[in-house]
Amino acid sequence: MSFPQQTLWGQSKAGNRVLIVSVSEFHPGVDLSKRKGVRRDNKRLHRIFCRLGFSVEMKIDLTADEIYEAFKEESQRRVSSCFVGVVSSHGEEGLVFGADGRPVSLAKIFSWFGGPSMAGKTKLFFIQACRGQELDSGVETDSAAPCEEQALSELFSIPTDTAVMYAAAPGYAAFHNPVGSVFLQTLCDLLEEEGSVELEVHRLLTRLNSRVAYHFQARGEGLNGKKAMPCIVSRLTTELFPFMDPRKTETDPSLGLALDLSATRLVSKAYKPRKNSIS
């Protein structure tokens, strides 16, 4: 049985949107540290997604209620074919924190995108936040993930035609430093590399997983050698090419296949990892 494809590169991206919600500084009295490097992430994400043809909106240092409001409004607006949501803040399993220190339920946000306005549209979420306090040493353990009930609730809230990629596995911390987050900066690296935007979205996310898992090691006191392992949850029902430049296929529709085959060869291309420091 063949897997259905939806070649988004054949459609206009004029009606497709990206919402970036990030928290860098928290209100006085909130016991959460300033997140250096957030503005670097925002600036680079904005530039790249605009170049890929998306309409991009950034919201910085929102309270919990304002984060809820921003995503609820987005879930009620129609898109041409694809919506991308980026959330960057301190977090725990199943939630992130607003600038006021109050928790924001990711399950609640995801559930809104199952409504009629987003039916049949592709929804991609990238979550840069800790999901616990464990540090990954790069070896398997028998430890069970904490907050299992909350994790399952979050999983079941993800609507059809949606993929969520987290910077960390359940129960683990996500890395961030003054030059930006490892996870989001690596996503930007891939979207700027020749051939990567032509990849089917599952392959792009898998490459992002591989790049972070195998080419990153934390440095610094108590963190030396620690690893990061992003996590993908997908309920996508078709093969998708949401970041392909439509101008490359307008003159020759068969170019889509050629580009995809070319991108396959890029998987084995040598990659020189960047040196990252951890704050």
User: Could you give the CA distance from residue 255 to residue 262 in angstroms, rounded to a whole number?
Assistant: 10
Any bridge partners for residue 87, and if so which?
21, 127
HEC string of 131-199 equals: CCCECECCCCCCCCCCCHHHHHHHHHCCCCCEEEEECCCCCECCCEECCEEHHHHHHHHHHHCCCHHHC
Helices (H) and strands (E) in the chain, counts: 8, 13
For residue 129, what are its two tokens? 């936040």
Residues 188, 48: contact at Cβ < 8 Å?
Answer: yes
In this structure, is residue 82 part of a structural domain? yes
Q: List phi, psi (to 5°) of 46.
A: -60, -45
90 is catalytic: yes
In this structure, is residue 1 part of a structural domain? no
**Which pLDDT score, from 0 to 100, does residue 228 have?**
65
User: Could you give the CA distance from residue 112 to residue 126 in angstroms, rounded to a whole number?
Assistant: 16
Residue 126 belongs to domain spanning: 13-139+148-266
Residues 133, 175: contact at Cβ < 8 Å?
Answer: no
User: Could you give the CA distance from residue 201 to residue 204 in angstroms, rounded to a whole number?
Assistant: 5
In terms of C-beta density within 10 A (0-12 exposed, 13-18 middle, 19 or more buried), how is residue 14 classed?
exposed
This prediction has a pTM of: 0.79
130 is catalytic: yes
Catalytic residue among 27, 46, 130, 231: 130
> Which one-letter DSSP state was computed for residue 275?
P
Q: What is the pLDDT along the chain (279 residues), one digit of tens a residue?
A: 444 544 443 344 558 999 999 999 999 999 999 998 999 999 999 999 999 999 999 999 999 999 999 999 999 999 999 999 999 999 999 999 999 999 999 999 999 999 999 999 999 999 999 887 665 444 333 333 445 555 556 677 899 999 999 998 888 877 667 788 889 999 999 999 878 888 899 999 999 988 887 765 544 444 454 556 788 999 999 998 999 865 555 544 544 444 443 333 333 344 444 444 343
User: Could you give the CA distance from residue 20 to residue 258 in angstroms, rounded to a whole number?
Assistant: 32
In this structure, is residue 278 part of a structural domain? no
In this structure, is residue 8 part of a structural domain? no
In this structure, is residue 84 part of a structural domain? yes
Residues 123, 161: contact at Cβ < 8 Å?
Answer: yes
- CATH number of the domain at 181, please: 3.40.50.1460
- Distance between the two ends of the chain, CA-based, in angstroms? 48
For residue 100, what are its two tokens? 């006021």
Q: What sign does the CA torsion over 88, 46, 68, 85 have? A: negative
Strands (E), 23-137: 55-60, 82-88, 91-92, 95-97, 103-105, 122-128
Residues 71, 21: contact at Cβ < 8 Å?
Answer: yes
Residue at 127: amino acid letter: I
Number of domains in the chain: 1
**Which pLDDT score, from 0 to 100, does residue 1 have?**
47
For 61-89, write each residue's pLDDT tens digit. Answer: 999 999 999 999 999 999 999 999 999 99
Nearest CA to 10 among 69, 82, 71?
Answer: 82
Catalytic residue among 82, 90, 176, 188: 90
CA-only gyration radius of the chain, Å:
18
User: Could you give the CA distance from residue 170 to residue 43 in angstroms, rounded to a whole number?
Assistant: 28
In this structure, is residue 27 part of a structural domain? yes
